[in-house]
Amino acid sequence: MSLSPYLDTTPVMGERIYLHPSCQVIGDVRIGDDSSVWCNTVLRGDVNRIVIGKGSNVQDLSMGHVSHKTPEKPDGSPLIIGDYVTVGHSVILHGCTIGNDCLIGMGSIIMDDVVIPERVMIGAGSLVSPGKVLESGMLYMGHPARAVRALTQEEISYLRYSAEHYIRLKDNYLNKT
């Protein structure tokens, strides 16, 4: 089973979601309507919460985790993913916040307390350093990630298209039975 409680907390799933049988969703995780979690992905909400909005997808081999609460940091670092976000293959998301209509490229690492506002594209293999606050409408790339340029209108449109493509894909999986 891909859903597991942690202590007294059980994941909460929205409507029409798809969880691949090989993924693991553990503890305080809330996944919004029409979202999907793909092959061998782990979302571990044990020491803090994970919230995924509607129409988002977390692709194969990705990992989402959180940082615990401390006296110095009473809220810790939850993982918050907005609506219509595409998280590419083999991405690590740790205690960060991602706004609506974003694309996180394959193999990227997004560290604690990063804030990615809406309409941002992170290039494949990028590392966003802890605490960095990005600017909306930009393409970021590199190790560490830096703003490369403003997104074109076509790229901004692609952000929503990518998420909607994964909604259609998960519907195909849900309707196969």
**Among 143, 116, 106, 151, CA closest to 127:** 143
* Tens-digit pLDDT profile for residues 106-150: 999 999 999 999 999 999 999 999 999 999 999 999 999 999 999
The answer, as to whether pTM is greater than 0.95, is yes
Which listed CATH number (2.60.40.10, 3.40.50.720, 2.160.10.10, 1.10.10.10) goes with 3-174? Answer: 2.160.10.10
**172/88 Cα distance (integer angstroms):** 19
Map out the domains of the chain as residue ranges: 3-174
